[in-house]
Chains A and B, each alone.
Chain A
Amino acid sequence: MPVSTNEIIKNRAVVSDDWSVLRLQEGETAESVSIPAGKVIVPFSVWQAQRAQLQDRKPIGVWLSSDAQADVLKEDLAHFDLVAVDFPKFTDGRGYSIAYNLRTRLAYSGELRAIGDVLRDQLFYMQRVGFDAFAVRADKNIHDALKGLTDFTEKYQTSWDEKTPLFRRVNRQAVSQD
């Protein structure tokens, strides 16, 4: 299988990427699908079904669907060089909580990639909950999407990226406009 020359956003820069995402096609099952060579991000269902063969394979990534819970990776997290969360639709917000829980509850510190319907105007939120890599939807300009990471310079509330709420971080006082 040829190495992918796709570009992704990683650590706030556009970089080339040689991972490929395995998605089951019609008629394929998690048990029977063959895993191509190279750096592959497999669905969690495939990991579960083929763990015996896959656990010696390095590097390997896994992706969670939006209806999964972060907790399903609890036992296996150390195996993965990359964890991805799929956004089947950019309006499906479950992936944000999955990412938050992977980072906080499971203390996952490796690459956390948003895949699927990943668009510019969601990137700011995605990075806040712990994503550090973004496979922007192929028909969109990834350099344009990069700007989405810097839409805001301040935030009120805590999340993965900011452990301290604004009210504990700074001394806040009303600005007189009189």
Chain B
Amino acid sequence: MYRYDQYDHQIVKERVAQYRDQVRRRLSDELTEEEFLPLRLQNGLYMQRHAYMLRIAVPYGMLSTAQVRMFAHIARTYDRGYGHFTTRQNIQFNWINLEQSPDILAELATVEMHAIQTSGNCIRNTTSDELAGVAADEIIDPRPYAEIIREWSTFHPEFAFLPRKFKIAISGSEQDRAATAVHDIGLHVVKNAEGEVGFRFLVGGGMGRTPIIGSVIREFLPWQHALTYLEAVLRVYNQHGRRDNKYKARIKILVKALGAEEFGRQVEAEWADIKDGPATLTVEELQRIAQYFVPPPYETLAASDVGFEAHKAENKGFANWLLRNVKAHKVSGYAAVILSVKKTGVPPGDITAAQLDFVADLADQYSFGEVRITHEQNLVLADVKLSDLFTVWQAVKAQGLATPNIGLLTDIICCPGGDFCSLANAKSIPIAQAIAEKFDNLDFQHDIGEIELNISGCINACGHHHVGNIGILGVDKDGSEWYQVSIGGAQGNNTSIGKIIGPSFSAQQMPVVIERLLDVYVKQRHEEELFIDTVQRLGIAPFKEYVYASPIPTGYTHGEDACVY
């Protein structure tokens, strides 16, 4: 876990003072709301439907237990007792007073946290693999590079007012768990034939209204050049990205317009000026950062544990949880535990102050005092001994964080939607809840197998609906809320963008729509075939045909909304 030195402390402290003064000037009308807007956004403060929302940076999703307890404190003191984990591995609080926001930042600074650049048209929180450092399939731990990028991007003077928001994700494993292909920049830490470490450099991926999969502009960039190459990409984008239309302002539009090859050529030309300059990384710096990510003091343990095996054999609930929520670890005798923040009846990603305190205590006792956030809005205890798993499971279960649904139908990625977000065209949480309620039966979910269901309340795609095996997008039609359904999206190594199956549905129709999609799958699947594979094999036609074959009750009994057909 990275620890601040005096310079990090100083910069964050100075930010708190700067922001406090900005808030003062806003409250005294020295700053207009228009002038204040980008300033507060670069501090993660949004004006939402009911109140301000504060998004706190969790760099690459890593948290100490002191930080988790601080969230609980903020939830209790400044909010309504809960927080919400996001697809950017951040946490946000929905009921914040503007006047108190500087105090929250001051409190965060005491545990080495801030809200810098969690919003705004600047380089956002760099995300990574929630299993970094422990995953069995890891090639190189990406976290030191993520931290190096965090520092470089923090208050970068040239790139604070970009054409649009800018998101970087980094992955160091065989299996991409960081959705790198749908980021403005996606980095794969790789080794070349000589065993040297470098990056495969993807640019121009993204979701939103024009979903595009990133293009590789360099197969191998030696790690020393990471920052100068990032600088070159950002400089080309800053100067040439469109500013006339915010919907065409992301780097993906520029890369698409120029072609990846031409874009790459311009980056190389820009890079030629700064390559090998002082910003080139040094072995000393990499080592300095990497020392914070050395493995914790693992015990030498056998690959299996007698007590653990006995509980597994005797207790079906425990076995189910192991199957879904516990992941392989590269160290013998340990496992990574995913705490499901997706209990039916609770908005996906929402967590209470009591649960936050509980997770902190649990991590202190069983997982070296460290917690991670996944971009699927769950939590991870990365280093739990097999012999502790049963105890941990019982404790977690009592807190409602043990739903054995990781990777299954009810592990829904969902943005806050119209209940909170002022950008949303439609609610998303009630849709997630209605679907979760209908398919609450775990046996059925296990039978369906791995499936990603993602819901966004608007085209900004915070719920990553484009890469959901089933994606749901809230749309506004004549002032009412409708839902467009796509299938065939996927994240990871075979990232694909889902295809829309047809006209949109009302909220009330959505559970039946999902049921029909699953009916087709169950009927057509080959043995062991996942939903996504069936969709890819058959195309969307049979799904479309069946979903629209007969009317689905709309919930409306009269008037022109009585039936959608």
Contact = CB atoms under 8 A, between A and B. Distances in A.
Decide whether A and B are members of one complex.
Answer: yes
Interface of A: 69, 90-94, 96-98, 100, 104-105, 119, 121-122, 124-126, 128-129, 144, 151-159, 163-168, 170, 172-175, 177
B121 A91 contact: yes
B273 A157 contact: no
Interface string B113-157: 000000001000000000000000000000000000001111111
Contacts, number: 118
Contacts of B158: 93, 96-97, 100, 125, 128-129, 159
19 contacts: A92-B161, A124-B157, A125-B155, A153-B10, A154-B11, A155-B157, A156-B151, A157-B151, A157-B153, A157-B279, A158-B277, A159-B156, A164-B278, A166-B151, A167-B281, A167-B284, A173-B5, A175-B5, A177-B3
B161 A91 contact: yes
Given A69-B239, A94-B243, A163-B278, A174 B160 contact: no
B35 A168 contact: no
Interface residues of B, number: 45
A173 B278 CA distance: 20
A90 B235 CA distance: 18
Contacts of A177: 3
Given A165-B278, A165-B279, A175-B4, A97 B239 contact: yes
A167 B285 contact: yes
Contacts of B9: 175
B18 interface: yes
A126 B4 CA distance: 27
Contact of A97 (B7, B22, B238, B284): B238
A99 B121 CA distance: 19
A138 to B, nearest CB: 15
Interface of B: 3-7, 9-11, 14-15, 18, 22, 30, 35, 38-39, 121, 151-163, 227, 235, 238-239, 243, 273, 277-279, 281-282, 284-285, 288, 292
A145 to B, nearest CB: 11
Nearest to A93: B161
Q: Is the interface of A mostly helix, strand, loop or mixed?
A: loop
A172 B238 contact: no
B356 to A, nearest CB: 21
B418 to A, nearest CB: 27
A173 to B, nearest CB: 6
A105 B273 contact: yes
Contacts of B156: 157, 159
A93 B122 CA distance: 10
A151 B10 CA distance: 11
B155 A156 contact: yes
A168 B151 contact: no
Contacts of B161: 90-93, 96, 122
A151 B278 CA distance: 25
Given A165-B279, A172-B7, A174-B5, A93 B160 contact: yes
Contacts of B7: 154, 156, 166, 170, 172
B66 to A, nearest CB: 9
Given A93-B160, A93-B238, A100-B235, 8 more contacts: A93-B162, A121-B39, A152-B15, A152-B18, A157-B279, A159-B158, A166-B7, A167-B285
Contact of B154 (A104, A156, A163): A156
Contacts of B18: 151-152
B4 A91 contact: no
A158 B227 CA distance: 10
